[in-house]
A and B are shown apart, each in its own frame.
Chain A
Amino acid sequence: MSYKAKFRIWRGEGGEGRLEDFTVEVNEGEVVLDIIHRLQATQAPDLAVRWNCKAGKCGSCSMEINGKPKLGCMTRMSTFGEDEVITVTPMRTFPVIKDLVTDVSFNYQKAREIPSFTPPSDVRPGEYRMKQIDVERSQEFRKCIECFMCNNVCHVIRDHDENKQAFAGPRFLMQIAELDMHPYDVADRQDSAQDEHGLGYCNITKCCTEVCPEHIKITDNALIPMKERVVDRRYDPLVWLGNKIFKRSAAK
């Protein structure tokens, strides 16, 4: 059940490079990452690819296959026709180190800019008491494997490199939403989401949700709820008036 597949793979260091053609054996049950490993073993020993678990859980082998962001280890060869040319390129939003390996330090920088979990000063470790229904909404976001395909596909920075400074990307706006929904987090996340992390840049076109390998509903469950919380804080006069009249506290 094996056949010869045609691959076009981006080769080059830094931004410069070219698409190189390969013909390579494919066997039943294999995934794209298997084929890239076969190319390394047989035809291109210096082909660079980042990978680790081969189980869709480490988020290392993010790449673009026929133009779509995917995990190489989770993309079955059976999803392509035998005569189809399969183009494999590095993630477009991030600088290339070599071949399919990109420098994703943009994401680490953005992660550092978000204040970590901030509990109330009068609650000590060991004293947190939370009901399951209070935390399960944000547990969905903890499934993230940090493959950064959502940030890669987001047109806000993919098509506009100049927005990188102002925009944290869906992965980290989701993290802000997770913390804002946390029953014990008291940090101000709503103003900073809008002012410092660029929530307003998101035009909810849902590409982040489409590419998420963990099927997290990033847009519906994190970004839009966070936008609505920002509306509460900044754009809704009735909520503002209600907070003033009834002296509602920020804790909900």
Chain B
Amino acid sequence: MERSLMTQTTAESPARRQRAQLKARTLRTDRWWLAPVLTFAALASFLVYGFWAMFDPSYYIAPYVAPFSAPCLLEVCPEGARVFGFAPIGDWFPLPPGVLVLGLPGGFRLTCYYYRKSYYRSFWLSPPACSVAEPHGKYTGETRLPLILQNVHRYFFYGSVLISAVLTYEAIVAFRNTDGEWGHMGVGTVILAVNAVLISAYTLSCHSCRHIVAGRLNHFSRHPLRYRFWGLVSKLNARHMLLAWVSMYTVLFADLYVRLVAKGIVTDITFF
């Protein structure tokens, strides 16, 4: 009896309840800091460009509309820049048209499950990399305000589906020439078309889309069509990170290209 008590005492001793008292923040020997540094630089530069583009007035040169200002909903928008010629917001909004619409794609990327991973790691260092200690004394994650608002992601997804449709429309009308006649194709047309495809692919690869399509179901067999769509979205979803980065750079490049053409810095090459 005494012997078993002694054994139990040893098993319950306070020292046994401690983790290894390693002082180092991490024992990783690889360049774990490289990914968060590059991510920080890439995301920060995108934000800087986006902020500049929001206020830049050179967002239209027929037949191209810069994606950061699409859809152009104000009366100040040139006729060719409007979606189906409509300007539903009128003239009461005093800021450039990009300011009005960028919240949707911006919010979509801000609450995106992939971007959350990337900026939690690179901006907030929570954690900077796997098995590297974060510098914060307390952590509550997405359990309370403000981060609990990340759960609004699906509504940004709905909005981004509309934005994808608008970018697709803008890419289609870019096959018209400056006189509005079909049969035009320039470098800008190709860039806008590629951008529309990649933005749409990124939008459809979203985790919320995967859930809405059929992920919320427990009986796939009762919903064969939804199950088939779920399979397709799952294939895209496996490449969500890749699509997030590629579409981020294509939209930036497409936007910059249109603005440079509009400013007369670059001449758009016309194929036919």
A interface residues (Cβ-Cβ under 8 A, vs B): 10, 12-17, 64, 66-69, 84, 87, 89-90, 92-97, 103, 131, 133-134, 137, 153, 155-156, 158-161, 163, 180-183, 198, 200-207, 210-211, 220, 224-225, 227-232, 234-236, 251-252
Residue of B nearest to A234 (CB): B151
Which chain A positions have C-beta within 8 A of B141?
156, 200-203
A-B pairs with beta carbons under 8 Å apart, 11 shown? A13-B15, A15-B19, A67-B131, A68-B28, A159-B127, A159-B133, A160-B138, A203-B141, A204-B117, A234-B151, A252-B216
Which chain B positions have C-beta within 8 A of A230?
151
User: Given that A134-B218, A252-B219 are contacting pairs, would A210 and B130 also be in contact in the complex, using a CB cutoff of 8 Å?
Assistant: yes
Known: A134-B221, A183-B218, A203-B126. 18 other contacts (CB 8 A): A16-B21, A64-B131, A92-B131, A95-B17, A96-B18, A96-B19, A134-B218, A155-B127, A159-B134, A200-B141, A200-B142, A201-B142, A202-B141, A210-B130, A220-B207, A224-B113, A225-B215, A251-B218
B131 to A201, Cβ gap below 8 A? Answer: no
| B265 touches A (CB below 8 Å) | no
Chain B, range 12-31, C-beta contacts under 8 Å to A? 13-22, 26-30
| B41 touches A (CB below 8 Å) | no
Distance in angstroms from B161 CB to nearest chain A CB is 15
Cα distance A14–B131 in the bound complex, in angstroms: 21
Q: Binding site of B, secondary structure by majority: helix, strand, loop or mixed?
A: loop
Residue of B nearest to A99 (CB): B20
When each residue 235-259 of chain B gets 1 if its CB lies under 8 Å from chain A and 0 otherwise, what string results? 0011010000000000000000000
A89 to B139, Cβ gap below 8 A? Answer: no
B113 to A252, Cβ gap below 8 A? Answer: no
Residue of A nearest to B15 (CB): A14
| B208 touches A (CB below 8 Å) | yes
Which chain A positions have C-beta within 8 A of B220?
131, 133-134, 137
Which chain A positions have C-beta within 8 A of B237?
220
B19 to A94, Cβ gap below 8 A? Answer: yes
Which chain B positions have C-beta within 8 A of A156?
139, 141
When each residue 177-208 of chain B gets 1 if its CB lies under 8 Å from chain A and 0 otherwise, what string results? 00000000000000000000000000000011
| B217 touches A (CB below 8 Å) | yes
User: Given that A66-B28, A153-B131, A203-B126 are contacting pairs, would A228 and B16 also be in contact in the complex, using a CB cutoff of 8 Å?
Assistant: no
Which chain B positions have C-beta within 8 A of A84?
29
Cα distance A236–B151 in the bound complex, in angstroms: 8
Distance in angstroms from B39 CB to nearest chain A CB is 12
Residue of A nearest to B30 (CB): A66
Counting residue pairs across A and B whose Cβ atoms lie within 8 Å, the total is: 170
Residue of B nearest to A198 (CB): B143
B27 to A66, Cβ gap below 8 A? Answer: yes
Cα distance A209–B255 in the bound complex, in angstroms: 35
Residue of A nearest to B143 (CB): A200
Distance in angstroms from A70 CB to nearest chain B CB is 10
Which chain A positions have C-beta within 8 A of B219?
134, 183, 252
Distance in angstroms from B27 CB to nearest chain A CB is 3
Which chain B positions have C-beta within 8 A of A225?
207, 210-211, 215
A159 to B27, Cβ gap below 8 A? Answer: no
User: Given that A67-B26, A225-B215 are contacting pairs, would A201 and B18 also be in contact in the complex, using a CB cutoff of 8 Å?
Assistant: no
Chain B, range 87-130, C-beta contacts under 8 Å to A? 113, 116-117, 120-121, 126-127, 130
Cα distance A213–B253 in the bound complex, in angstroms: 39
Cα distance A192–B218 in the bound complex, in angstroms: 18
B218 to A93, Cβ gap below 8 A? Answer: no
Which chain B positions have C-beta within 8 A of A234?
151
B19 to A93, Cβ gap below 8 A? Answer: yes
Contact of A96 among B20, B148, B215, B238 (CB under 8 A): B20
Residue of A nearest to B114 (CB): A204
User: Given that A16-B18, A160-B139 are contacting pairs, would A207 and B130 also be in contact in the complex, using a CB cutoff of 8 Å?
Assistant: yes
